[in-house]
Structure 1
């Protein structure tokens, strides 16, 4: 026989009130006096955050430079734009801010935003105090569910470059700014010895001869490994040989020098004092930089299908007349110098040219947006 036990009405009411109270309890947020702490790790070429979303209020960013060259962190959004001083490799810094609700961009501002263009940017969502979305931690290199939305995919950028003006061939010789480059070479690790050998006899020299030729190409910056290039260069060298280069595919891996990147990059401030790639090139701004492979012919005979090619349309580094390198920091000069460097592919013999490489400039070149 089943016995029923009556429940006093006041107990039922109390239980209901407790349930309502529990349901109405808002998500827990930090105390107003306790700032959020976000760890940021900087390296080539990314910014990784420990949090994808935080609550509005005070926040302290603890930034570690885990890369091999100096970086910094800038936070921008909701009328805030603050950045750290330059952070040396292995060092840390902090940045304390008070953030309103919104989406903030965090990036490395070094090199007139060149590091940002190379991929050192991310986003942080700051939720309002009444938001139902609580802050959540993420592991480095992951994306948190409910975190800041990924930025919209960038549209394809393209550039058409045409060589013009005097054409010169650069021959091996001493680099004219060895004292300026020496301190920067200290950071280049295993590559330092090879680069130091180029100080006395390298490709960036004042040993130049007049040449002739044409060069035009189109490059598409589509991100990651989807970049592409299409172009043809023809030129004569000091010994009277006729060379033709057809470039039709980009190179995206193991491109020297420190740090490594490749493909097509539009708008880059590097070399020289920037500690991005070899300092045995003056500091420059480029409209486009391309790392590619090409088919190389000498006097109509195929030399290789895997020539390693580096092209830059950059701020002018050489003066008129003798075409000597005119500046260590050339970044503010007009962008009109088109450089073409060609090296043998891995394991292939040196070219039949001084130094075993080809280096040709078109000194008065131009660019435009190609027709769609």
Structure 2
């Protein structure tokens, strides 16, 4: 009788994905590993920041991103990566978060144990160079008065993500500062802003205008706001190039989605008829894509991000704990 011998090869089963923990915050992407082997990998992404973030993995023909993650939440993204180098960055704000430093490197293949554990910010490139912009208003000047927001149905789904702010924002839908209720006034506005990355920004500017009640106002800008609050990052005070508002969940959705050449948040010295009102007026300035039409200056679009950048907006509010002042907050130069 012939013997039949069977040689059974033990074939390895599918390999479990490697795991890379990703921690997001303002303005960092931190990876638990910077070098991994080729093959499947699961990114476990935690948003430890105060505003929504996400990750996108790009390189070697791959460009995949995770859904936006709310503060305190976690998400996962599983990919199969081949040998090479990859960027892992936050795509929120059409690259605005990436510009602020939310970018890291991941190397696939040639793993070195000494580099494979521990969080590392892994920021790409050198510290950003100082950028500056000088702006002078040159068009008609309009005072934006309280009234209903003209795109309530478009804003409603976005408001769901604003947590404790939602109730206050919903009241502004009915009667708030982002309305079609405007009046012609006179005034001038000029400023210079310096963007030095996520910190050390600065501003120097003066606005002078007469409101509809005949009062003459003067605003002097000399220092920026830097404290981030949920959904309302300050980007160090000044940021050149920002896609936000509207659908982005970055700042209020009661402004259309816009692109800005510069956005800044500052404290100002505010004078009315030559008398100091406050040294701590809260000021927001945008040189942005056009949102309002000629003639009646009504808001003309919900997504205005592709329009030409040619509006200069100034908003003035009382500082924390300070009494309200008579000037309505919004102006268009």
Name the TM-score class by shorter chain: 0.7 to 0.9
Shift of 1:118: 4.0
8 Å Cα contact 1:184/1:273 also seen in 2: yes
Shift of 1:212: 1.2
8 Å Cα contact 1:220/1:228 also seen in 2: yes
User: After superposition, where does 1:59-78 map in structure 2 within 5 Å?
Assistant: 59-66=40-47, 71-77=53-59
- Structure 1: any 5+ residue segments left out of the alignment? 1-31, 363-372
Q: Secondary structure of 2:240's partner? A: strand
- What residue number does 2:4 align with? none
Shift of 1:33: 6.0
Greater displacement, 33-42 / 223-232: 33-42
- What residue number does 1:11 align with? none
User: After superposition, where does 1:141-160 map in structure 2 within 5 Å?
Assistant: 142=120, 151-160=125-134
Q: Structure 1 residue 97 and structure 2 residue 77: aligned? A: no
Give the total of aligned pairs: 317
Deviations 1:162-203 (A, max 9, x none): 111111000111111111111211111111122112111111
User: After superposition, where does 1:106-255 map in structure 2 within 5 Å?
Assistant: 106-126=88-108, 128=110, 134-139=114-119, 142=120, 151-254=125-228
Deviations 1:263-321 (A, max 9, x none): 10111111111111111111111111100011111111111111110000011110000
Q: Secondary structure of 2:22's partner? A: strand
TM-score when scaled to structure 2?
Answer: 0.86
Judging changes above 3 Å, is the alpha-carbon distance between structure 1 residues 313 and 44 closer, same or farther for their aligned structure 2 residues?
A: same
The partner residue of 1:38 within 7, 10, 20 is 20
Judging changes above 3 Å, is the alpha-carbon distance between structure 1 residues 237 and 227 closer, same or farther for their aligned structure 2 residues?
A: same
Shift of 1:220: 0.7
- What residue number does 1:84 align with? 65
Q: Secondary structure of 2:322's partner? A: coil
Deviations 1:11-45 (A, max 9, x none): xxxxxxxxxxxxxxxxxxxxx96754322234554
Q: Secondary structure of 2:97's partner? A: helix
Shift of 1:138: 0.7
- What residue number does 1:323 align with? 297
Larger Rg: 1
Rounded Cα–Cα distance in structure 2 between residues aligned with 1:259 and 1:306 = 18
CA-atom RMSD, angstroms?
2.5
8 Å Cα contact 1:73/1:84 also seen in 2: yes
Q: Secondary structure of 1:323's partner? A: coil
Rounded Cα–Cα distance in structure 2 between residues aligned with 1:115 and 1:149 = 12
Q: Structure 1 residue 51 and structure 2 residue 33: aligned? A: yes
- What residue number does 2:326 align with? 352
- Structure 2: any 5+ residue segments left out of the alignment? 1-13
Q: Secondary structure of 2:283's partner? A: strand
Rounded Cα–Cα distance in structure 2 between residues aligned with 1:113 and 1:275 = 14
Q: Secondary structure of 1:190's partner? A: helix
Rounded Cα–Cα distance in structure 1 between residues aligned with 2:110 and 2:324 = 63
Deviations 1:71-122 (A, max 9, x none): 4422234x434112424443523232324344x3211223322232344222
